[in-house]
């Protein structure tokens, strides 16, 4: 019998992964904005994500809200520990979020809202990467409260993971634009995908080598028998995704680079999961001592069992409605 805390840890993990992948490409579209000069191309890029960005960001609320509901101790310790990067992320998301509508509402200030969209996307991705890196480094908890300092999140490692997520999201965004557009814009996006693909792979290599050095527990996790097998398999899977990315960019189909980029993200995420388990706040709070009482877990699980499949259904439907290449002449704006 699987206990509800484990089910919830898996569900929260899936929600956060869904967020990273889904908002990853739409943040990526914003990150690419400064590299795309034509406002017309920018319009098409924005229209390619406009119908879905709101749903994508809802997964972030589910990640945060879900943590609050089922792992309140983790929520109450991680959030104060990551205060600065999280506030920066929230403000950045406000900037880019309003840009979706505001950019069409003023001709004179359109370029300003383009800048807000780009700056907000870049800062949000960077702050998320920093937060993730800081979490990997571990959070000090005493009693039931965060016991570290206000700049514990800042380190060479967390800045590195911040940059890594910016280039990774840029790859997702570029691959998305390759898949969703045609002509000159698609060609530009292909160039970006090559460059950010190379940078992403370099970042994955660097973070993978760095993480085990942070902490003996990570070292043991990855290099003790039998886990050491995983240390051999994971890089091979990363290479397979890289090969698929290259093939997709050379010969198509246009969906392949996007799938391959997502594959890279999933592998990295699984890697982080392997490092973390069984902690939810490394190395302070485990899944079980961070969990809410069983009655809270079951109460929300009952509804989730019904609602989550529906959410996946209509989200898939919304993507299906807006499938295919974006027609530059279409869009509500």
Partner 1 sequence: MLDALTALELARIQFAFTVSFHIIFPAFSIGLASYLLVLESLWLWKRDDAYATLFTYWKKIFAVAFGMGVVSGIVMSYQFGTNWSTFSDKAGPIVGPLMGYEVLSAFFLEAGFLGIMLFGFNRVGARLHLFATAMVAFGTLFSAFWILSVNSWMQTPAGFAINDAGQFVPQDWWAIVFNPSFPYRLVHMVLAAYLTTAFVVGGVGAWHLLRNSQDRGARIMFSMAMWMAVAVAPLQIVAGDLHGLNTLEHQPAKIAAMEGHYETHENGAPLYLFGIPDDESEKLSYSVGIPNLGSYILTHDWTGKVKGLEAFAEDKRPPAEWVFWSFRIMVAVGFAMLAVGLWSLVQRLRRRLYFDTWLKRAAVTMAPSGFIAVLAGWITTEIGRQPYTVYGLLTTTESTSAVGAPAVAASLVAFIVVYFTLFGAGTVYILRLMAKPPRADEADEPEGPTRASGLTPAPSVAPHKVFSAE
Name which of residues 22 to 41 contact partner 1 (CB under 8 A): 39-40
CA 62 from centre of chain:
13
**Out of 3, 34, 37, 94, the residue judged to bind partner 1 by CB under 8 A:** 94
71: phi then psi, degrees, rounded to nearest 5: -130, 60
Nearer to partner 1, 123 or 256 (CB): 123
3 binds partner 1 (CB under 8 A): no
Nearer to partner 1, 3 or 54 (CB): 54
Least separation, in Å, of the C-beta of 262 and partner 1? Answer: 20
**Out of 7, 14, 35, 97, the residue judged to bind partner 1 by CB under 8 A:** 97
194 binds partner 1 (CB under 8 A): no
Q: Which residues pair with 142 in a beta bridge?
A: 145
**Out of 17, 31, 73, 118, the residue judged to bind partner 1 by CB under 8 A:** 73
The stretch near partner 1 (CB under 8 A) out of 48-56, 128-136, 187-195, 216-224 is 48-56
By CB under 8 A, the residues from 127 to 156 that bind partner 1 are: 144-146, 150
By CB under 8 A, the residues from 197 to 256 that bind partner 1 are: none
Least separation, in Å, of the C-beta of 56 and partner 1? Answer: 8
The stretch near partner 1 (CB under 8 A) out of 77-85, 175-183, 184-192, 241-249 is 77-85
**Angle made by CA atoms 100, 105, 108, in degrees to the nearest 5:** 115
16 binds partner 1 (CB under 8 A): no
Q: Between 285 and 304, how does the x/- string for binding to partner 1 read (CB under 8 A)?
A: -------xx-xx--xx--xx
159 binds partner 1 (CB under 8 A): no
Nearer to partner 1, 226 or 295 (CB): 295
3-state secondary structure the chain: CCCHHHHHHHHHHHHHHHHHHHHHHHHHHHHHHHHCCCHHHHHHHHHHHCCCHHHHHHHHHHHHHHHHHHCHHHHHHHHHHCHHHHHHHHHHHHHHHHHHHHCCCCCCCHHHHHHHHHHHHHHHHHHHHHHHHHHHHCCCEECCEECCCCCCCCCHHHHHHHHHHHHHHHHHHHHHHHHHCCHHHHHHHHHHHHHHHHHHHHHHHHHHHHHHHHCHHHHHHHHCCCCHHHHHHHHHHHHHHHHHHHHHHHHCCCHHHHHHHHHHHHHHHHHHHHHHCCEEECCCEEHHHHCCCHHHHHHHHHHHHHHHHHHHHHHHHHHHHCCCCCCCCCCCC
Residues touching partner 1, count (CB under 8 A): 78
The stretch near partner 1 (CB under 8 A) out of 19-27, 51-59, 200-208, 253-261 is 51-59
177 binds partner 1 (CB under 8 A): no
**Out of 19, 25, 33, 95, the residue judged to bind partner 1 by CB under 8 A:** 95
**Out of 7, 51, 186, 198, the residue judged to bind partner 1 by CB under 8 A:** 51
Least separation, in Å, of the C-beta of 67 and partner 1? Answer: 8
Alpha-carbon gap, residue 119 to 212, rounded angstroms: 32
**Out of 7, 21, 110, 140, the residue judged to bind partner 1 by CB under 8 A:** 110
């Amino acid at each position: 019998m699987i206990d509800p805390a484990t089910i919830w840890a898996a569900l929260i993990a899936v929600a956060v992964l869904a967020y990273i992948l889904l908002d990853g490409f739409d943040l990526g579209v914003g990150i690419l904005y400064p590299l795309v000069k034509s406002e017309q191309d920018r319009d098409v890029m924005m229209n390619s994500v406009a119908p879905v960005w709101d749903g994508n960001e809802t997964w972030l609320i589910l990640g945060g809200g879900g943590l609050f509901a089922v792992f309140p101790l983790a929520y109450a310790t991680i959030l104060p520990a990551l205060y600065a990067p999280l506030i920066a992320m929230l403000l950045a998301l406000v900037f880019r979020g309003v840009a979706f509508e505001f950019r069409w509402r003023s001709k004179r200030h359109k370029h300003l809202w383009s800048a807000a969209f780009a700056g907000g996307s870049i800062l949000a991705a960077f702050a998320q990467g920093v937060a993730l890196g800081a979490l990997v480094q571990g959070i000090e908890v005493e009693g039931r409260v965060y016991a570290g300092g206000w700049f514990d999140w800042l380190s060479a490692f967390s800045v590195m993971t911040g940059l890594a997520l910016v280039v990774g999201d840029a790859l997702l965004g570029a691959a998305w634009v390759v898949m969703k557009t045609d002509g000159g814009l698609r060609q530009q996006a292909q160039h970006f995908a090559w460059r950010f693909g190379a940078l992403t792979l370099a970042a994955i290599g660097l973070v993978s080598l760095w993480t085990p050095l942070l902490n003996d527990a990570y070292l043991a996790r990855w290099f003790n028998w039998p886990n050491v097998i995983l240390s051999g398999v994971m890089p091979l899977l990363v290479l397979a995704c890289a090969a698929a990315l290259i093939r997709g960019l050379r010969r198509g189909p246009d969906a392949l680079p996007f799938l391959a980029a997502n594959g890279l993200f999933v592998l990295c995420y699984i890697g982080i999961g392997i490092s973390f388990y069984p902690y939810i706040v490394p190395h302070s709070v485990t899944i079980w001592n961070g969990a809410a009482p069983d009655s809270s877990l079951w109460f929300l699980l009952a509804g989730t069992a019904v609602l989550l499949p529906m959410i996946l259904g209509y989200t898939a439907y919304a993507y299906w409605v807006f499938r295919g290449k974006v027609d530059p002449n279409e869009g509500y704006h």
